[in-house]
Chain A
Amino acid sequence: MPNTPSTIAEKLESLWSLAPTTIERTPHAKELGMKFVAIDIGQTTMSLPYNPNLIGDADTRVMAGGAVTTLLDQCSGLAASSLFDPPVSVATLDLRIDYMRAATPNEAIVAQAHCYKATKHIAFVRAVAHDGDSDDPIATSQAIFMTAPIPNAEADKNSSETQLAGKESR
């Protein structure tokens, strides 16, 4: 894709018209209460407000590592998706997460993902989860995504766009 100012503007416009509703269209992300925050080409920010249902240890009231996993997966998937032209739905192939510290109870968790490379079908994404200061991470992750097959072979040209950032386990 030639990166002229007009194609970048066009791409950003298309991303901003679709990405904010991506959570709404992903049942599990919606169930957890995730929020879309921002998107750029290959970069996304999402948040997960504190939710007592997502606590991993009743003694500490810290949100579960699994909830952080889901947030990082969702955020990274959207970053991967945004680097394809047109944006496509992606599936997680490989996800590595390092947990640096416990999240702070009652605080929202923010995830920032950067898809730094995409080949024809594969995308590589790094992400960080924090609660306000990205230099003091709760967790960092490294993920690989693959473009998902289009369910209907007759899918029209727009279907890849309407599927933007649908997330699944492969």
Chain B
Amino acid sequence: MSRIIKQANPKLTEANISRALSRIPYARFLGIKPLLMGSELTMVLPYSDSIIGNSNLKALHGGAVGAFMEITAIVQLQLSSGSKKLAKPIGINIDYLRRGNPKDTYARAIVARQGRRVANVRVRAWQDNYEDPITILHGHFKSAHIED
């Protein structure tokens, strides 16, 4: 089974994901970790007190969750394109559906379209249940292999 998946997506290995993440100091700062199940990449934003945005409500900062989803999109694009350069955001939209509670957050990105110059990506972030997302991002990213 794992051989079939690897054939389908040879770039999706723990080592490649760690390599992509190591190029993003901000991902390390947020403590973001990859979780690979088959060929599905899920990113984890572990809870820490430093990502709280509202101390009274113990709610996560909207910016921290937004940044987490952007990084999830960039890493997913890097893996699917195999490019040496990282994708850059052009325009993104974030919908905040539920309060981020003080616990771990997960995110998964889907490349809706990989064009030659731009890619359209959708990211869902959730906590308790994949079916109950706390935030959804969609946006365009400059394809990694395009020069400025």
Residues of A at the B interface (CB closer than 8 Å) are 25-29, 31, 52-59, 63-67, 69-74, 77, 89, 91-99, 102, 148-149, 151, 159, 163, 166-170
B23 touches A59 (CB 8 A): yes
Chain A residues within 8 Å of B113, by CB: none
Stretch at the interface among B6-14, B34-42, B51-59: B51-59
Q: Does A73 contact B61, Cβ atoms closer than 8 Å?
A: yes
Task: Find out whether the CB atom of A28 lies under 8 angstroms from the CB atom of B71.
Answer: no
Binary CB contact string for chain B from 44 to 55 against chain A (1 if under 8 A, 0 otherwise) = 000001111111
* Size band of the interface chain B makes with A: 35 or more
Set of chain B residues within 8 Å of A95, measured between Cβ atoms? 62, 66, 93-94, 96
In whole angstroms, how far apart are the Cα atoms of A99 and B91 in the complex?
6
Residues A66 and B53 in contact, CB atoms below 8 Å apart: no
Complex interface: chain A residues within 8 A of B51 (CB): 27-28, 31
Instruction: Among A56, A102, A167, point to the contact of B24 (Cβ < 8 A).
Output: A56
- Pull 16 A–B residue pairs with CB atoms less than 8 Å apart, ordered by A: A26-B52, A26-B61, A53-B26, A53-B29, A58-B24, A77-B62, A91-B99, A95-B93, A151-B56, A166-B53, A167-B54, A167-B62, A168-B53, A169-B60, A169-B135, A170-B62
Chain A residues near B53: list those with CB within 8 A.
26-29, 166-169
Centre residue among A70, A148, A149 by max chain B CB count within 10 A: A70
Label chain A's interface by main secondary structure: mixed
Chain A CB within 8 A of B134 CB: yes
Given contacts A28-B64, A99-B91, contact A163 B29 (CB under 8 A): no
* Residue in contact with B57 in the complex, picked from A27, A54, A67, A151, CB distance below 8 Å: A151
The distance from the CB of A120 to the nearest CB of chain B, in whole angstroms, is 19
Is there contact, CB below 8 Å, between A92 and B91? no
Q: Interface centre among B60, B61, B67, by most A CB within 10 Å?
A: B61
Are B70 and A163 in touch, CB under 8 angstroms? Answer: no
With A28-B53, A148-B57 known as contacts, the answer to whether A69 contacts B63 (CB < 8 A) is: yes
Chain B residues near A52 (CB, 8 Å)? Answer: 25
Which residues of B have CB within 8 Å of A166? 53-57
Contact of A58 with B23 at beta-carbon distance under 8 Å, contacts A28-B53, A99-B89 already known: yes
Tell me how far the C-beta of A50 lies from the nearest C-beta in chain B, rounded to whole angstroms: 12
Cα A53 to Cα B62 in complex, Å, equals 19
Name the residue on A nearest B95 (C-beta). A94
Residue B77 CB within 8 A of the other chain: no
Which chain B residue lies CB-closest to A149? B57
User: Which residues of the other chain, B, contact A54 by a CB distance below 8 angstroms?
Assistant: 25-26, 29
- Chain A residues near B28 (CB, 8 Å)? 53
Nearest CB of chain A from residue B127's CB, rounded to whole Å: 11
B26 and A168 contact, CB distance less than 8 A = no
Interface membership of B103, Cβ < 8 A: no
Complex contact A94–B70 (CB within 8 A): no
CA of A92 to CA of B98, assembled, Å: 10
Is B119 in contact with chain A by the CB < 8 A criterion? no
Enumerate chain B residues within 8 angstroms of A170, measured Cβ to Cβ.
62, 96-99
